[in-house]
């Protein structure tokens, strides 16, 4: 693509940088909301360090708050006295900027003219994967030590499409930004009793079970959190007297701003999908599954597509951060599984969740039925536990699975290198423990590390239980995991500095 006409693309960039006209005054709340995720402070400190590489790149679904986090970092730089002339924002899916060579845009913006090693300039590259040769230029900025600090974002892991995964090593670090965690939601609601996480989730869980006073009485907050969704725009929506009206509004926001923009804009751009309506049909079928267990053969038959196409489309939905799948733990640990069978077992044994359960209900447009059906609320609870554990696993080196062997199963296996845990989400603390008992008998490293999770459970430690199975409520567990994720995100940047 030819270089943009300088006057036109410079005008587009100026419009995206309001601090150039206001002289560094406080940013409008629509850009930098007052409620900050704890990641913001860590990012602001990271990009101001003398050796500020690798560059952080925020990854996550549309409307998860990536741009807000980046604008909040801009606000912190301005508040710290950084000149507005040293800060350049580029939304690279802008019609005048998309597809343009990233190096030409950075050099042509004029923001490099007075940049020095002592006073580097800060570039905020929103939706960076829409620019041309973005990955090569990020490597160039890093290896040639340009006087720049960069914070980037992307709504699609198309970052892995045409290059080896390791090509970003040492040049940028990918940071998965999940939807709001329950701990963040409670802080926004000004609910006290913050969790104080320690080294691992297992240790924090034991610590908090010993003193649950700060995290009791959260059920009403949890219900609205699950129904409205954990995206900032829906989670912070003011409550009205009409819950159904609030719910329908939240679902419309999620459909139009997250689902449709991902399916009809991001995925086609990243992967060249010619019929995005097929993606929407697949997503609808996935959302309609009662058990969540994947059957690619059935999906292919219902959509009239081949199974390889289903697998490919499913990968696109995962890379757009709409859904995720969990493999059967036994595939990796069971010595009776031959290597030649592993691939087929993985495809058959996967279980699917949405990155936020509210996306599932927005996909199938479940409105009033959600308020009447307790079974649907239970599904949202299990999905929330799964998505919170996934967020933690992506930060601390853990892995997340489910387990099924014959007629017994365990919903969620958090395979941490030193402190693994297993969770079964049920309707009450009297939920059947056969799956957890069989699991820890087969995999002894999980003995005394298994929990039944239910809405009104009286908390008890797995380590102190005769059968090695503890109990914990949904709400306190989500708050504990959320606090652990927040700590892990902050620690990543501290570790980078070290």
What is the pLDDT at residue 269?
Answer: 86
Q: pLDDT band at residue 167, thresholds of 50, 70 and 90? A: low
Compute the distance between CA of residue 326 and CA of residue 304 in angstroms, rounded to an integer: 25
What is the pLDDT at residue 434?
Answer: 97
128-154 tens-digit pLDDT: 999 988 989 999 999 999 999 999 999
What is the pLDDT at residue 301?
Answer: 95
Q: Can you tell me the mean pLDDT for 456-482?
A: 94
Whether 208 and 128 share a structural domain: no
288-304 tens-digit pLDDT: 987 788 999 999 999 99
Does pTM surpass 0.95?
no
Residues of the chain with pLDDT > 90: what percent? 65
For the cut 80, the answer to whether the pLDDT of residue 193 exceeds it is no
Domain final residue, candidates 112, 143, 177: 177
CATH at residue 28: 3.40.50.300
SS3 assignment, position 113: coil
Residue 249: inside a domain: yes
Whether 164 and 188 share a structural domain: no
Task: Tell me which of 30-44, 157-171, 179-193, 202-216 is least confident.
Answer: 157-171
Whether 234 and 166 share a structural domain: no
Closest CA to 482 of 398, 388, 382: 388
Using an 8 Å Cβ cutoff, are 122 and 88 in contact?
Answer: yes
Whether 172 and 245 share a structural domain: no
Residue 239: inside a domain: yes
For the cut 90, the answer to whether the pLDDT of residue 448 exceeds it is yes
What is the pLDDT at residue 109?
Answer: 87
Q: pLDDT band at residue 1, thresholds of 50, 70 and 90? A: very low
- Structural domains counted in the chain: 2
Question: Angle between the 307-319 and 276-288 helix axes, to the nearest 10 degrees?
Answer: 90
Whether 168 and 187 share a structural domain: no
What is the pLDDT at residue 156?
Answer: 76
Whether 312 and 333 share a structural domain: yes
Greater confidence (222 vs 491) lies with 222
Q: Which residues of 436-453 are buried (b: 16+ CB within 10 A; e: fewer)?
A: bbbbbeebeebebbbbbb
335-368 tens-digit pLDDT: 444 444 444 444 457 999 999 999 999 999 887 7
What burial class does residue 160 get, using C-beta atoms within 10 Å of its C-beta: 0-12 exposed, 13-18 middle, 19+ buried?
Answer: middle
- When the pLDDT of each residue in the chain is averaged and rounded to a whole number, the result is 88
Compute the distance between CA of residue 410 and CA of residue 86 in angstroms, rounded to an integer: 53
What is the pLDDT at residue 164?
Answer: 45
Domain residues for the domain of 329 are 183-489
């Amino acid at each position: 693509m030819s270089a943009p006409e300088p006057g036109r693309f410079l005008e587009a960039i100026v419009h995206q940088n309001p601090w150039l006209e206001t002289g560094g005054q406080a940013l409008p709340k629509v850009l930098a909301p007052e409620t900050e995720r704890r990641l913001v402070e860590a990012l602001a400190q990271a990009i101001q360090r003398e050796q500020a590489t690798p560059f952080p790149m925020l990854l996550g679904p549309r409307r998860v708050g990536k741009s807000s986090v980046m604008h909040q970092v801009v606000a912190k730089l301005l508040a710290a006295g950084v000149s507005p002339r040293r800060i350049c924002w580029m939304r690279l899916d802008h019609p005048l900027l998309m597809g343009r060579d990233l190096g030409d845009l950075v050099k042509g913006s004029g923001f490099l003219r007075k940049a020095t090693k002592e006073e580097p300039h800060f570039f905020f590259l929103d939706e960076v994967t829409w620019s041309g040769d973005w990955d090569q230029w990020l490597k160039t900025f890093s290896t040639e030590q340009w006087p720049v600090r960069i914070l980037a974002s992307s709504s699609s892991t198309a970052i892995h499409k045409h290059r080896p995964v390791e090509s970003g090593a040492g040049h940028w670090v990918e940071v998965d930004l999940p939807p709001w965690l329950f701990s963040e939601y409670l802080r926004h609601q000004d609910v006290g009793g913050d969790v104080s996480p320690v080294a691992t989730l297992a240790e924090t869980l034991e610590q908090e079970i010993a003193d649950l006073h700060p995290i009791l009485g959260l059920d009403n907050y949890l219900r609205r959190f699950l129904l409205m969704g954990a995206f900032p725009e829906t989670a912070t929506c003011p409550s009205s007297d009409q819950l159904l009206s609030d719910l329908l509004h939240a679902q419309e926001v999620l459909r139009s701003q997250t689902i449709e923009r991902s399916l009809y804009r991001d995925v086609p751009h990243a992967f060249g999908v010619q019929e995005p309506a097929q993606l929407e049909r697949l997503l609808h079928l996935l959302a309609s599954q009662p058990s969540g267990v994947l059957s690619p053969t059935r999906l292919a038959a219902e959509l009239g597509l081949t199974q390889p196409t289903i697998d490919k489309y499913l990968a696109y939905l995962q890379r757009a951060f709409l859904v995720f799948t969990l493999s059967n733990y036994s595939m990796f640990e069971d010595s009776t599984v031959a290597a030649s069978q592993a691939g087929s077992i993985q495809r058959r044994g996967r279980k699917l969740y949405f990155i936020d359960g509210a996306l599932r209900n927005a996909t199938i447009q479940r409105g009033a039925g959600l308020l009447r059906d307790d079974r649907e609320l239970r599904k949202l609870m299990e999905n929330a536990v799964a998505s919170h554990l996934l967020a933690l696993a992506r930060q601390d080196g853990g892995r997340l699975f489910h387990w099924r062997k014959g007629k017994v199963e365990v919903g969620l296996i958090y395979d941490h290198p030193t402190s693994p845990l297993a969770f079964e989400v049920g309707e009450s603390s009297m939920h059947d423990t056969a799956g957890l008992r069989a699991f820890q008998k087969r995999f002894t490293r999980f003995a005394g590390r298994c929990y039944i999770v239910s809405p009104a459970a009286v908390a008890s430690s797995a380590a102190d239980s005769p059968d090695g199975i503890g109990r914990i409520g949904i709400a306190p567990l989500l708050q504990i995991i959320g606090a652990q994720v927040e700590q892990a995100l902050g620690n990543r940047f501290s570790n980078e500095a070290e």
